[in-house]
Amino acid sequence: MYLKLSRWNISLEIVNLVFFYLIYLIGIYAYYKSPLIAGGYSFIEFTTIIFLKLALITAPVIILARKYLIKLIPIKEDILIIKGDNKLDILKIKKSDLICVSNAQNYIEIFYTDNGQLKSKLIRYSLKKIQEDFDFLAQIHRSHLINPSHFKSWKNTTTILLTQKELPVSKNYKASILTL
């Protein structure tokens, strides 16, 4: 339901819980009436005498479990896999560690942080292809793409400071950088 609506709120949570209890009621009543138990209550009696008490006891447990168990689910980090034109040109990094990508003729130089240290890797790939593959990168120059989350400040009117890196900004891309 969440994937279809792309939103979630308390009313949808309540509808989901009621739907769960309705299916649960039908299932346990069918079991109650089966030859294994052969219960004597009618559906209305079973619902009011047994099921409502059960629902009142289990609802807080389900709500609290849902609220606190979600925090235990590990959050999948965004991992970027950059594969170059050569077979051995592969780089796996977290999206948050990527600082910038610079053009170096037929290669790109990828600058990233690894345990707080600036590192770079040269991969045979084009800047245009990397921009198409990773649309979150912002172009600041004909030869440079940056990860906007690493933008720190302007050094002067033509240079920006990133995390452990300085890059020039061309006039054509200056307006788009000002919106960051």
Give the pLDDT confidence of 2-27 residue by residue, as tens digits.
Answer: 666 667 778 888 888 899 999 999 99
| Domains of the chain by residue range | 2-72, 79-178
CB contact set of 86 (below 8 Å; sequence gap of 6+): 123, 124
Confidence grade of residue 79 (pLDDT, cut at 50, 70, 90): confident
CATH 2.40.50.1020 fits 79-178, yes or no: yes
Alpha helices in 34-178 (DSSP H): 43-45, 52-69, 127-133, 174-178
- The pTM score is 0.58
Q: What is the pLDDT of residues 123-159, one digit of tens each?
A: 999 999 999 988 899 999 999 999 999 988 888 888 8
* Residue 70 clears pLDDT 90, i.e. is over it: no
